[in-house]
A and B are shown apart, each in its own frame.
Chain A
Amino acid sequence: MTANVSYFIMMAAGLILSFSLYSVRLRRRKLPAGLGWTTLFFSLPLGYFFAKLIFLIVRFKATVSVHGLAAFIRVLPEEFSFVGGALGVVLAVVMCAKLRRLSVPQALDAFAPAGCLLVAFARAAEYFLGTVGWGDYLEVDLLCRFPFAVQNSYGEWFLAVFTFEACIALILFVLSFIREGSYRTQPGLLFGHTAYSLCICQVIPEMLRAVTIIYSFVRTEQLICALAAFGLLWRGCALLSRRGKKGAYRPLVWMLLLAGLNIALQFALDKPYLFIDPLPLSEGARAWLMANSADVFYGIMVADVALMLLLAWRTAHALAARGGKKSRA
């Protein structure tokens, strides 16, 4: 069995399982279960379309200008945007709910855990896509084994970034069930918070990937995720503001600051001397920091991402509480 056949089998399993879960959850919310399968039908072309579209826009010069419109039907693993695919699936959920004149936030909430499950399957399936989900070359013996790492034909081990991304999606899958009860007062909140968390958790794995869609040194998938997360938080803050919460937009300001720190850290990882040289440090401390700059900067980045997640958690809980007050009123 070739790797690509294995990939498609795994993706088919992921789609069937996640859309089955979506259908069950729709039924529990007293929405038509058939909507799940209609959504699956539309999410396939939409997922493909947006995954290709984003890739082709970013890498236009290397794709469309070389292969013309045929670039749209080239099925090469590296020539798709994961975020674009996810966007297509979410659009299918929205579109199908709208077509059936059903509540879009309710449909999205029903889809949140199913979406995480689908992401987990899609990430895990990257195992079959060659170097697509690979990260840095590994030399730590303890990590040089599957599922932490994958080996190439030269016997070299590379970090299996897809494993970590699949694990993150599974954790968010579990969290979405845990959060569901407390978020019931605010339709759309479960999806918003889950999507935000998925996007923010994408920041570090995207840094680790050896194959990523780059436009002029910018990791495009990471940028789209950051913008989507910003948009979701903005919407949350706007809802809070509408409900009279003072300083409702404060998390947004914090997020901008944290995003700025993240950008600075990305520059620092590329050119550590620019950031370390001006620091008032002793020679020994400077040398240590230069030698361990990647570990230090990645450590700060993890804290930065954790704070961004905390921002959304606080905003979501404030919204859930206010939503509750409103519904009781």
Chain B
Amino acid sequence: MTKRLSFLCILASLCLLLFSGAQAEVVQLPVDDSGGMPPLAFGYQGDLAYEDPTIKVSIETGREENCDYWIADIQLTDPAQLRTASAGGFDSTMAMDGPKLARRVNAVLAIDGDYFCYTGSGYILRQGQLYLNKLNGDRDVLLVDELGNFHGRHLAEDGSITGSVRGRKIINAFYFGPILVENGEVCPDVTGQDMAAREKRQRMCIAQVGELHYKAICCAAPARGSAGMTLQQFAEFVARQDVLIAYNLDGGDSTMMIFQNEKINDAKNSSTRRICDIIYFASAWKAE
């Protein structure tokens, strides 16, 4: 009787395994403009966390130096899950609401990018395609290679970036800066590239913690009970979050952390500025 019961249990488990195998699978996301896999409804754990077999996101909020902050911790299984998207193409100046853009590409978590369409110069390389290579040594550049590793280039000069770094193809590059943290230490010259460095502002950065492990960190505006942060304050705060490298992105009212297709930072501010691009983390788990 016990043997028969055990046999039935094993059979049932095998069926379940086969059944679940037919239901979902990990897909390799292509390096192009397509989006990620739609997040699973049951992957959300409360309002500030998501997990499926390919991505784990948890968001922490708090207050430091009289300013609210949001820290998203993201762990991926494949570098292609770190992606970028634009409102109308990376050769267009079109802008739209960030949450709508995040919804378009099935982002699990998205943040605003570097507002590439505004500067007119820089190194615009997104999803493996180069759109502009016009550097003039006035800003730091962040390069993300095909393994999802971050590489900073201080005040990159024209021709100094060739499309690969340490033999790895660059998949995405950002031109805003400055680099806030390098090798876990605050960079000595974070206030040198202006970016309203000495003003207390709303700020956003993307950081790498380890292999396929990232953080997106932002602080609130100097309004609604928060003080905002200077760039130096922000860099020091980011460095305390155990990151290896962190890069400053577009801030002010463009600062956007989007989760479940909603802007979660500074939610009391009804105004959502239209933005050109987002950096997002996508699921690669395909449910039937």
Residue A210 CB within 8 A of the other chain = yes
Task: Say whether A131 contacts B271, CB under 8 Å.
Answer: no
A35-64 contacts to B (CB < 8 Å): 59-63
Q: Chain B interface: which size bin?
A: 20 to 34
Among A131, A154, A293, the residue within 8 A (CB) of B94 is A131
CB neighbours (8 Å) of A234 from chain B are none
Among B97, B119, B121, B270, the residue within 8 A (CB) of A137 is B97
Smallest CB separation, A191 vs chain B (Å): 32
Smallest CB separation, B266 vs chain A (Å): 10
Closest residue to B95 on the A side, CB-wise? A210
Among B95, B96, B100, B253, the residue within 8 A (CB) of A270 is B253
Residue B213 CB within 8 A of the other chain = no
Residue B274 CB within 8 A of the other chain = yes
Residue A256 CB within 8 A of the other chain = no
Residue B13 CB within 8 A of the other chain = no
- Of A171-179, A243-251, A271-279, A301-309, the stretch lying at the interface with chain B is A271-279
Contact A270:B271 (CB < 8 A) given known A65-B134, A210-B87, A211-B88: yes
Contact A156:B104 (CB < 8 A) given known A62-B121, A271-B253: yes
Task: Say whether A156 contacts B92, CB under 8 Å.
Answer: no
Task: Say whether A269 contacts B271, CB under 8 Å.
Answer: yes
CB neighbours (8 Å) of B268 from chain A are 273, 290
Task: Say whether B223 contacts A273, CB under 8 Å.
Answer: yes
Interface secondary structure of B, over-half rule: loop
CB neighbours (8 Å) of A329 from chain B are none
Task: Say whether A210 contacts B253, CB under 8 Å.
Answer: no
Among B96, B104, B134, B271, the residue within 8 A (CB) of A272 is B271
Residue B93 CB within 8 A of the other chain = yes
B63-122 contacts to A (CB < 8 Å): 87-89, 92-97, 100, 104, 118-121
CB neighbours (8 Å) of B89 from chain A are 131
CB neighbours (8 Å) of A291 from chain B are 270
Per-residue B-contact encoding for A205-216, CB less than 8 Å = 1, 0 else = 000001110100
Known: A211-B92, A214-B93. 18 other contacts (CB 8 A): A62-B121, A66-B121, A66-B132, A78-B93, A130-B92, A131-B89, A131-B94, A134-B88, A136-B274, A137-B100, A210-B94, A211-B88, A211-B93, A211-B95, A274-B223, A290-B270, A291-B270, A294-B271
- Chain B residues with CB under 8 Å of chain A are 87-89, 92-97, 100, 104, 118-121, 132, 134, 223-224, 253, 268-271, 273-274
- 22 A-B pairs within 8 Å (CB atoms) are namely A61-B121, A62-B119, A62-B120, A65-B120, A66-B120, A66-B134, A136-B274, A210-B94, A210-B96, A211-B92, A269-B271, A270-B253, A271-B253, A271-B271, A272-B270, A272-B271, A273-B223, A274-B223, A277-B223, A291-B270, A293-B270, A293-B271
